[in-house]
Structure 1
Amino acid sequence: MIISLLLCFCLSSASSSKLVCHMTNWAQYRPSDGKFTPDNIDPFLCTHVIYALATINSFNQISPVEWNDEQQFVRLNSFKNVNPDLKTLLTVGGTVNGISPFVAVVAKPESRAAFIKSAISYLRTHNFDGLNLAWEYPGHNGSPQDDKERFTLLVTELSTAFEDDARDNRRTQLLLSANVAALAPTIERAYEVDKISPHFDFINVLTYDYHGSWEPVTGHNSPLHRSSLDSGSHIHHNINSSISHWLDLGAPAEKLLLGFPTFGRTFRLTSGITSLGAPANGPADAGPYTRTAGFWSYYEICDFLPSATVEWIPEQEVPYATYASSWLGYDDKRSFSSKVQWMTANHLGGAHVWTLDMDDFSGTFCSAGAYPLINHLRLSMGFPPKPTTTPAPTTTKDPLADICRGRPDGLYENPADKTTYFQCHVGNTYLHHCQSGLIFWDSCKCCDWP
Structure 2
Amino acid sequence: MQLLLFVVTAVLSFNVQNTAANFKRVCYLSSWARYRPQPHAFNPENYGAHLCTHLIWAFADLDDSATHLVAGDPGDDPSMYHRLRALKVDNPHLKILLSLGGWDMGTKKFTKLVSSGDKMKAFATNAIKYLHDNGFDGLDIDWEYPAGRGSPAGDKQRFTELLRVVKHAFHNDHTVHGRRHLMLTAAVSADPGSIDTYYEPSKISQYVDFLNVMTYDFHGEWEHNTGHHSALQGPDSDQLTVKKSATAWAHHGVPKSKIMIGLPFYGKSFTLKDSSHSGLGSAVTGAGKAGQVTKEEGTLAYFEVCKLLQQGAVGHRLVDQHVPYLVDGDRWVGYDDEKSIEEKVQYVVNEGYGGIFVWALDLDDFSGVCGKRFPLMNKIKDTFAHLIG
Would you call these one fold, judging by a TM-score over 0.5?
yes
Gaps of 5+ in 2: 1-14
| Identity percentage of aligned residues | 38
* Partner secondary structure for residue 194 of structure 2: helix
Determine if the alignment matches structure 1 residue 249 to structure 2 residue 252.
yes
Deviation at 1:93, TM superposition (A): 1.3
Among 338, 347, 350, the residue aligned to 2:352: 347
**Could you say which residue in structure 1 is the equivalent of 2:197?**
189
**Could you say which residue in structure 2 is the equivalent of 1:130?**
138
**Could you say which residue in structure 2 is the equivalent of 1:437?**
none
Determine if the alignment matches structure 1 residue 219 to structure 2 residue 227.
yes
**Could you say which residue in structure 1 is the equivalent of 2:302?**
298
**Could you say which residue in structure 2 is the equivalent of 1:153?**
161
Deviation at 1:43, TM superposition (A): 2.9
Distance verdict in 2 for CA 1:251–1:113, change over 3 Å: same
**Could you say which residue in structure 2 is the equivalent of 1:448?**
none
Determine if the alignment matches structure 1 residue 280 to structure 2 residue 287.
no
Contact 1:12/1:382 (8 A) holds in 2: no
* Partner secondary structure for residue 176 of structure 2: helix
Among 81, 87, 95, the residue aligned to 2:95: 87
Show CA shifts across 1:348-400 (max 9, x none): 0001011111001111x2212x211101111011179xxxxxxxxxxxxxxxx
Distance in 2, Cα, partners of 1:180 & 1:191: 9
Deviation at 1:13, TM superposition (A): 2.4
Distance in 2, Cα, partners of 1:94 & 1:86: 23
Q: Structure 2 counterpart of 1:285, which letter?
A: K
Point out the structure with max Rg over C-alpha.
Answer: 1
Distance in 1, Cα, partners of 2:104 & 2:316: 40
Q: Structure 2 counterpart of 1:64, which letter?
A: A
Deviation at 1:95, TM superposition (A): 6.2
**Could you say which residue in structure 1 is the equivalent of 2:185?**
177
Q: Structure 2 counterpart of 1:130, which letter?
A: G
Q: Structure 2 counterpart of 1:18, which letter?
A: K
**Could you say which residue in structure 1 is the equivalent of 2:314?**
309
Structure 1 residue ranges, 4+ long, deviating more than 2 angstroms after superposition: 9-13, 94-100
Deviation at 1:236, TM superposition (A): 0.7
Show CA shifts across 1:142-188 (max 9, x none): 10000000001001111111110001111221001011000022211
**Could you say which residue in structure 1 is the equivalent of 2:42?**
36
Distance in 1, Cα, partners of 2:32 & 2:226: 28
Gaps of 5+ in 1: 1-8, 385-408, 411-450
**TM-score w.r.t. structure 2 length?**
0.92
**Could you say which residue in structure 2 is the equivalent of 1:21?**
27
* Partner secondary structure for residue 262 of structure 2: strand
Deviation at 1:98, TM superposition (A): 4.6
Determine if the alignment matches structure 1 residue 68 to structure 2 residue 75.
yes
Among 315, 319, 328, the residue aligned to 1:323: 328
Distance in 2, Cα, partners of 1:10 & 1:339: 22
Distance in 2, Cα, partners of 1:240 & 1:214: 23
Deviation at 1:274, TM superposition (A): 0.8
Aligned residue pairs total 371
Distance in 1, Cα, partners of 2:212 & 2:90: 26
Distance verdict in 2 for CA 1:10–1:316, change over 3 Å: farther
* Partner secondary structure for residue 144 of structure 1: coil
Distance in 2, Cα, partners of 1:100 & 1:291: 28
* Partner secondary structure for residue 385 of structure 2: coil
**Could you say which residue in structure 2 is the equivalent of 1:416?**
none
Specify which structure has the higher proportion of helix. Answer: 2
Among 201, 214, 229, the residue aligned to 1:206: 214
* Partner secondary structure for residue 223 of structure 1: coil
Distance in 2, Cα, partners of 1:34 & 1:143: 36
Show CA shifts across 1:383-437 (max 9, x none): 79xxxxxxxxxxxxxxxxxxxxxxxx99xxxxxxxxxxxxxxxxxxxxxxxxxxx
Distance in 2, Cα, partners of 1:250 & 1:22: 26
Distance in 2, Cα, partners of 1:254 & 1:97: 29
**TM-score w.r.t. structure 1 length?**
0.80
Distance in 2, Cα, partners of 1:40 & 1:97: 27
Q: Within 5 Å, give how 1:225-236 maps onto structure 2.
A: 225-227=233-235, 231=237, 235-236=238-239
Distance verdict in 2 for CA 1:61–1:96, change over 3 Å: farther
Deviation at 1:310, TM superposition (A): 1.0
Show CA shifts across 1:119-140 (max 9, x none): 1010000000000001000001
Contact 1:10/1:381 (8 A) holds in 2: no
Distance in 2, Cα, partners of 1:136 & 1:147: 12
Distance in 2, Cα, partners of 1:371 & 1:284: 25
Q: Which stretch has the larger CA shift, 24-33 or 262-271? A: 24-33
Deviation at 1:17, TM superposition (A): 0.7
* Partner secondary structure for residue 185 of structure 1: coil
